[in-house]
Protein backbone atom coordinates (compact mmCIF):
# COMPACT_ATOMS: atom_id res chain seq x y z
CA UNK A 1 0.00 0.00 0.00
CA UNK A 2 1.25 3.46 -0.97
CA UNK A 3 -0.33 6.62 0.40
CA UNK A 4 -0.22 10.39 -0.01
CA UNK A 5 -1.68 12.93 2.42
CA UNK A 6 -3.03 15.98 0.61
CA UNK A 7 -5.08 19.09 1.34
CA UNK A 8 -3.22 21.11 3.97
CA UNK A 9 -5.55 21.98 6.87
CA UNK A 10 -8.48 20.15 5.18
CA UNK A 11 -6.61 16.90 4.63
CA UNK A 12 -7.35 13.69 2.81
CA UNK A 13 -5.23 10.54 2.60
CA UNK A 14 -5.18 8.84 -0.81
CA UNK A 15 -4.26 5.14 -0.61
CA UNK A 16 -3.06 3.15 -3.62
CA UNK A 17 -3.49 -0.62 -3.27
CA UNK A 18 -2.25 -3.58 -5.24
CA UNK A 19 -4.76 -6.21 -6.29
CA UNK A 20 -5.95 -8.10 -3.20
CA UNK A 21 -4.81 -5.48 -0.70
CA UNK A 22 -7.45 -4.03 1.59
CA UNK A 23 -8.21 -1.18 4.00
CA UNK A 24 -10.54 -0.97 6.99
CA UNK A 25 -12.41 2.13 8.10
CA UNK A 26 -15.36 3.27 10.16
CA UNK A 27 -18.67 3.33 8.28
CA UNK A 28 -19.12 6.54 6.32
CA UNK A 29 -15.41 7.49 6.19
CA UNK A 30 -14.75 6.69 2.52
CA UNK A 31 -14.58 9.86 0.38
CA UNK A 32 -13.85 8.54 -3.14
CA UNK A 33 -12.43 5.42 -4.74
CA UNK A 34 -11.76 3.61 -8.01
CA UNK A 35 -14.55 1.36 -9.36
CA UNK A 36 -12.70 -1.89 -8.57
CA UNK A 37 -12.69 -1.28 -4.81
CA UNK A 38 -15.19 -3.71 -3.31
CA UNK A 39 -16.77 -3.08 0.09
CA UNK A 40 -17.75 -5.56 2.80
CA UNK A 41 -19.32 -4.47 6.10
CA UNK A 42 -18.28 -6.33 9.25
CA UNK A 43 -19.18 -6.09 12.91
CA UNK A 44 -16.95 -8.74 14.49
CA UNK A 45 -17.72 -10.54 17.74
CA UNK A 46 -19.69 -9.25 20.72
CA UNK A 47 -16.51 -8.21 22.55
CA UNK A 48 -15.37 -6.03 19.64
CA UNK A 49 -18.83 -4.49 19.26
CA UNK A 50 -18.94 -3.61 22.96
CA UNK A 51 -15.46 -2.09 22.79
CA UNK A 52 -16.36 0.08 19.81
CA UNK A 53 -19.49 1.33 21.55
CA UNK A 54 -17.48 2.28 24.65
CA UNK A 55 -14.81 4.08 22.64
CA UNK A 56 -17.39 6.12 20.72
CA UNK A 57 -16.88 4.43 17.35
CA UNK A 58 -19.45 2.90 15.03
CA UNK A 59 -20.39 -0.72 15.66
CA UNK A 60 -19.73 -1.63 12.03
CA UNK A 61 -16.55 -1.32 10.02
CA UNK A 62 -16.09 -1.43 6.26
CA UNK A 63 -13.40 -3.42 4.48
CA UNK A 64 -12.43 -2.15 1.01
CA UNK A 65 -10.45 -4.53 -1.20
CA UNK A 66 -8.86 -3.92 -4.61
CA UNK A 67 -10.06 -6.56 -7.07
CA UNK A 68 -8.79 -7.35 -10.56
CA UNK A 69 -5.90 -4.88 -10.44
CA UNK A 70 -4.53 -1.87 -8.54
CA UNK A 71 -7.08 0.32 -6.78
CA UNK A 72 -7.32 3.71 -5.11
CA UNK A 73 -9.38 4.88 -2.12
CA UNK A 74 -9.36 8.18 -0.25
CA UNK A 75 -10.39 9.10 3.30
CA UNK A 76 -10.96 12.74 4.29
CA UNK A 77 -10.70 14.23 7.77
CA UNK A 78 -14.03 15.15 9.38
CA UNK A 79 -12.66 18.35 10.97
CA UNK A 80 -10.02 20.93 9.94
CA UNK A 81 -6.69 19.60 11.09
CA UNK A 82 -4.17 16.93 10.20
CA UNK A 83 -3.95 13.28 9.23
CA UNK A 84 -1.04 11.33 10.66
CA UNK A 85 0.23 7.92 9.59
CA UNK A 86 1.19 5.62 12.48
CA UNK A 87 3.36 2.57 11.85
CA UNK A 88 2.00 -0.11 14.17
CA UNK A 89 3.90 -3.27 15.05
CA UNK A 90 5.02 -5.48 17.94
CA UNK A 91 5.83 -3.23 20.90
CA UNK A 92 4.59 -0.15 19.00
CA UNK A 93 0.86 -0.06 19.72
CA UNK A 94 -0.76 3.38 19.92
CA UNK A 95 -3.33 4.77 22.35
CA UNK A 96 -5.42 7.47 20.64
CA UNK A 97 -8.29 9.76 21.61
CA UNK A 98 -11.83 8.61 20.95
CA UNK A 99 -12.92 8.96 17.30
CA UNK A 100 -9.34 9.61 16.14
CA UNK A 101 -9.14 6.46 14.00
CA UNK A 102 -9.71 7.18 10.30
CA UNK A 103 -8.54 4.11 8.35
CA UNK A 104 -5.83 1.46 8.28
CA UNK A 105 -4.47 -1.58 6.59
CA UNK A 106 -6.44 -4.72 7.44
CA UNK A 107 -3.67 -6.00 9.73
CA UNK A 108 -4.54 -3.36 12.35
CA UNK A 109 -6.63 -4.36 15.36
CA UNK A 110 -8.86 -1.78 17.07
CA UNK A 111 -9.75 -2.27 20.72
CA UNK A 112 -10.77 -0.24 23.74
CA UNK A 113 -8.11 1.10 26.11
CA UNK A 114 -9.07 1.93 29.69
CA UNK A 115 -7.21 4.69 31.49
CA UNK A 116 -5.79 3.02 34.61
CA UNK A 117 -5.40 6.32 36.46
CA UNK A 118 -8.74 7.36 38.01
CA UNK A 119 -7.63 10.97 38.41
CA UNK A 120 -6.51 11.20 34.79
CA UNK A 121 -9.84 9.80 33.67
CA UNK A 122 -11.85 12.33 35.66
CA UNK A 123 -9.74 15.45 35.24
CA UNK A 124 -7.24 14.96 32.43
CA UNK A 125 -9.70 15.66 29.63
CA UNK A 126 -8.86 12.50 27.67
CA UNK A 127 -11.32 10.32 29.62
CA UNK A 128 -11.28 6.78 30.95
CA UNK A 129 -11.86 5.18 27.56
CA UNK A 130 -9.53 5.63 24.60
CA UNK A 131 -8.72 3.54 21.53
CA UNK A 132 -5.85 1.11 21.13
CA UNK A 133 -4.33 0.41 17.71
CA UNK A 134 -2.29 -2.80 17.63
CA UNK A 135 -1.29 -5.49 15.14
CA UNK A 136 0.89 -4.88 12.10
CA UNK A 137 0.59 -2.19 9.44
CA UNK A 138 -0.14 1.49 8.82
CA UNK A 139 -3.00 3.29 10.56
CA UNK A 140 -4.23 6.83 9.87
CA UNK A 141 -5.58 9.04 12.65
CA UNK A 142 -7.30 12.43 12.64
CA UNK A 143 -5.72 15.24 14.66
CA UNK A 144 -7.60 18.46 15.51
CA UNK A 145 -5.58 21.37 14.12
CA UNK A 146 -1.85 20.98 13.55
CA UNK A 147 -0.01 17.92 14.88
CA UNK A 148 3.16 18.23 16.97
CA UNK A 149 5.16 15.05 17.61
CA UNK A 150 7.59 14.50 20.48
CA UNK A 151 9.80 11.52 21.30
CA UNK A 152 10.07 11.23 25.07
CA UNK A 153 12.99 9.44 26.67
CA UNK A 154 12.47 7.03 29.56
CA UNK A 155 11.19 9.06 32.51
CA UNK A 156 10.96 12.29 30.49
CA UNK A 157 7.72 14.18 31.04
CA UNK A 158 5.61 16.75 29.25
CA UNK A 159 2.74 18.71 30.83
CA UNK A 160 -0.21 19.04 28.46
CA UNK A 161 -3.35 21.13 28.83
CA UNK A 162 -6.73 19.39 28.77
CA UNK A 163 -7.68 17.93 25.40
CA UNK A 164 -4.38 18.53 23.60
CA UNK A 165 -3.14 14.93 23.74
CA UNK A 166 -4.15 13.19 20.51
CA UNK A 167 -2.13 9.96 20.70
CA UNK A 168 0.74 8.26 22.49
CA UNK A 169 2.63 5.00 22.20
CA UNK A 170 1.50 2.35 24.64
CA UNK A 171 4.86 2.59 26.42
CA UNK A 172 3.93 6.08 27.65
CA UNK A 173 1.86 6.68 30.77
CA UNK A 174 -0.64 9.43 31.52
CA UNK A 175 -1.50 11.05 34.85
CA UNK A 176 -2.75 14.42 36.11
CA UNK A 177 -1.15 17.20 38.12
CA UNK A 178 -2.88 20.07 39.91
CA UNK A 179 -2.04 23.61 38.87
CA UNK A 180 -0.04 25.06 41.83
CA UNK A 181 -1.47 27.98 43.80
CA UNK A 182 -5.10 28.95 44.48
CA UNK A 183 -4.72 32.22 42.57
CA UNK A 184 -3.36 30.38 39.53
CA UNK A 185 -6.26 27.89 39.63
CA UNK A 186 -8.97 30.54 40.02
CA UNK A 187 -7.65 33.35 37.82
CA UNK A 188 -4.98 31.86 35.56
CA UNK A 189 -7.48 30.69 32.94
CA UNK A 190 -5.73 27.33 32.55
CA UNK A 191 -8.09 25.26 34.70
CA UNK A 192 -7.29 23.25 37.82
CA UNK A 193 -5.60 20.17 36.34
CA UNK A 194 -3.15 19.37 33.55
CA UNK A 195 -2.22 16.05 31.96
CA UNK A 196 1.29 14.69 32.52
CA UNK A 197 2.65 12.26 29.93
CA UNK A 198 5.73 10.24 30.85
CA UNK A 199 8.00 8.43 28.38
CA UNK A 200 9.48 6.43 26.85
CA UNK A 201 7.69 6.74 23.54
CA UNK A 202 6.21 9.03 20.93
CA UNK A 203 3.32 11.37 21.65
CA UNK A 204 1.22 13.40 19.21
CA UNK A 205 -0.32 16.67 20.39
CA UNK A 206 -3.03 18.67 18.61
CA UNK A 207 -3.15 22.46 18.40
CA UNK A 208 -6.96 22.91 18.13
CA UNK A 209 -9.04 20.43 20.17
CA UNK A 210 -12.58 20.30 18.83
CA UNK A 211 -13.94 20.76 22.35
CA UNK A 212 -12.15 24.12 22.60
CA UNK A 213 -13.57 25.20 19.24
CA UNK A 214 -17.07 24.20 20.35
CA UNK A 215 -16.71 26.27 23.54
CA UNK A 216 -15.58 29.32 21.55
CA UNK A 217 -18.49 29.03 19.09
CA UNK A 218 -21.19 28.34 21.69
CA UNK A 219 -21.89 32.02 22.52
CA UNK A 220 -22.48 32.72 18.82
CA UNK A 221 -24.69 29.67 18.29
CA UNK A 222 -26.75 30.22 21.45
CA UNK A 223 -26.51 33.94 22.26
CA UNK A 224 -27.93 34.98 25.61
CA UNK A 225 -31.26 36.75 25.46
CA UNK A 226 -31.30 40.31 26.72
Our count of domains for the chain comes to 1
Question: Considering the domain boundaries, does residue 165 fall inside one?
Answer: yes
Residue 68 within any structural domain of the chain? yes
* Domain with 132 in it: 2-216
Provide the pairing of β-strand 137-144 with 129-135: unpaired
User: Does residue 223 lie within any of the structural domains?
Assistant: no
Is pLDDT at 29 greater than 90 in this prediction? no
- Is 222 domain-assigned? no
Q: How far is CA 95 from CA 88, 92, 110, 116, 215, in A?
A: 11, 10, 10, 13, 25
Which CATH number goes with the domain that contains 158?
Answer: 3.60.160.10
Asked whether residue 12 is assigned to any structural domain, the reply reads: yes
Q: Is residue 96 part of a domain?
A: yes
pLDDT in tens, 86-143: 999 998 999 998 889 999 999 999 888 876 554 444 444 445 578 899 999 999 999 9
- For the entire predicted model, the pTM comes to 0.82
Amino acid sequence: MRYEIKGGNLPVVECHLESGESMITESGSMSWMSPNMKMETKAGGAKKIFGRMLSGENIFQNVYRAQGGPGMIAFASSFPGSIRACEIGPGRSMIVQKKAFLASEEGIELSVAFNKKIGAGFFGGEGFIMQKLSGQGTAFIEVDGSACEYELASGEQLIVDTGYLAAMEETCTMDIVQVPGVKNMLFGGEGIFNTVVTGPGKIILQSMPITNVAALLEPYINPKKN
